[in-house]
Amino acid sequence: MSEKILLKNIGEVYTMTEQGVLRNYSVLVENGKISKITEKIDVGNDIEVIDCTGLKLFPGFIDAYTHIGVYPLEWEYGEHGVEKSDVVAPHLRVIDGLDLYDKAFEDAVRGGVTTIASYPGSYLSFGKITEYMTIVPGQSAVIKTNRRIIVETHGIVFALGEHVKRYLREQKLSPTTRMGIIASIRTLFQNALDYREKRKENQEELPRDLKLEAILDLLEGRLTAFVHAHTGNDIRTLVKLLREYNVNNIVVLHGTEAHFIADFLREENIPVIYGPIIFSKRGVELRNLDSRTPVRLYESNVRFALTTNHPTIPIQYLPLIAGVSVGEGLPRLKAYEAITIEPARILGLDDRIGSIAPGKDADLVVFDGDPLEPDSKLIYALIDGVKVFER
């Protein structure tokens, strides 16, 4: 790719770096990357120039917790998010069952979302008859919304809570308590460590075990641990177990009651992908769900990103969700961060995405106003330096 695009005279550049907001700057894009951010620039006629006078430039938005591609039309094709034959399945990879032609990718671009992470597992919805969640549903992936997979296997999801227990009971499976669920994960970790030793000693006689190798990928730091839980207690329990096995990279998914254990999360430096905030307090474990919680996390210095958890809330509304947090009292800059640089950091991809700086991927969105407001419009979107949307 040798395409060059110049975004010229941009009214405001929200860099999401220490540089803050730059006014009347230009951004040069070369070979899919941001190459220059400058006040004045002279370019030849061989390059495309986009006049951005009076417009606002943001890094493309990131939703770090979706099920895009997993549930394009669930009832037609069955449940792709959860493998029912195996309730502890760390070796399953979401990319192996992900529809890259899910229309949600187009919807995402329309909303200014340029990167998503997609996870196996269930999602919250009222249209569904059943809701499945297993103890370990598998591995997540990170995908640009131009359908380019950038991290094939990113992390393993561990779940605790009502949905897991209800599913196990409905299927007449065990374990049936949180104690038993945690013990089954601990056994799995122990088996993985034993397997590593035995493979070292006698490779030929021990057949390969993908499940245990996936756990070793986690224990040896190649994968992130995603803690899927709502109540403060369930989050804490899973984190404690993972720390017992020295797992460093831990991220909380949902985290409905994360504010109850804010001190713990801050001390352990564990971030939360919080949401979806637009959901009712259905059932007991969601009784403390509240669209004000992101403000509380901010006030207690817990790192967090905001999510739609698509398809619970359609992906294109990510900026509106961030707008709701502002209405609840979150400073506007924090709300921008919660859908740009914070999810990038949480995914460990902030060297590539989530901010506007030389060398970063040219995932850029141009709005005619504040993207958190409903009456602002997306004017252009670039992913990897290629224009994917133009109004």
Partner 1 sequence: MKALVGGRIITVKGPVINNGVILIDNDGRIKSVGKKGEITIPEEAEVIEVYGKTITPGFIDAHSHLGLIPEGLDWEYSDVNDYYSPITAHIRAIDALDPYDEGFKDAVAGGVTTIYTGPGSANVIGGIGLVMKTYGRNLDEMIVDPEAAVKMALGPKRPREVKSKLPYPTSRMGTVAMLRQWLLRAREYMEGKMKDDKLDPDDKAILEVLGRVLRREMLAKIHLSTSPDEIYAIVRIIKEFDLRATIDHVFGGQLLADLLAREKIAVVYGPPMIARFASFFKYVDDRAPVVMYKHGVNVSIMTDHPVIPEKHLRLLAAVTVKNGLTLNEALELITINPARQLGLEDRLGSIEPGKEADLVVASDHPVKPTSTIEMVFVRGELAYSRK
Q: Determine the 3-state secondary structure of 75 from DSSP.
A: helix
> In this chain, which of 16, 34, 270, 326 binds partner 1, going by CB under 8 A?
326
Contact between 278 and partner 1 per CB under 8 A: yes
Q: Please answer whether residues 156 and 226 qualify as being in contact, where contact means their C-beta atoms are separated by less than 8 angstroms.
A: yes
Contact between 112 and partner 1 per CB under 8 A: no
> In this chain, which of 193, 328, 357, 368 binds partner 1, going by CB under 8 A?
328
- Tell me the C-alpha distance between 141 and 162, whole Å: 25
Contact between 229 and partner 1 per CB under 8 A: no
Contact between 101 and partner 1 per CB under 8 A: no
Contact between 317 and partner 1 per CB under 8 A: yes
> In this chain, which of 39, 48, 299, 373 binds partner 1, going by CB under 8 A?
373
- Tell me the C-alpha distance between 28 and 324, whole Å: 33
Name the residue type at position 264: F
Contact between 199 and partner 1 per CB under 8 A: no
262 or 278: whose CB is closer to partner 1?
278
- Contact range with partner 1 by CB under 8 A, out of 15-23, 65-73, 177-185, 350-358: 65-73
What is the footprint of partner 1 within residues 120-159 (CB under 8 A)?
A: 125-127
| Element at 326 (helix H, strand E) | helix 318-328
Contact between 78 and partner 1 per CB under 8 A: no
272 or 321: whose CB is closer to partner 1?
321
Q: How far is CA 216 from CA 117, 143, 170, 347, in A?
A: 22, 24, 31, 19
- What sign for the dihedral angle of Cα 249, 199, 159, 343? positive
The footprint of partner 1 on this chain (CB under 8 A) covers a number of residues equal to 41
> In this chain, which of 46, 197, 204, 375 binds partner 1, going by CB under 8 A?
375
- Tell me the C-alpha distance between 182 and 295, whole Å: 31
Q: How far is CA 131 from CA 71, 82, 165, in A?
A: 13, 10, 11
Contact between 253 and partner 1 per CB under 8 A: no
74 or 213: whose CB is closer to partner 1?
74
> In this chain, which of 20, 31, 75, 221 binds partner 1, going by CB under 8 A?
75
| Four-CA torsion 316, 320, 325, 326, nearest 10 degrees | 140
Q: Are strands 113-118 and 155-159 parallel, antiparallel or unpaired?
A: unpaired
**Which residues contact partner 1 by CB under 8 A?**
71-76, 103-104, 125-127, 278-284, 286-288, 291, 310-314, 317, 320, 323-324, 326-329, 332, 370, 372-375
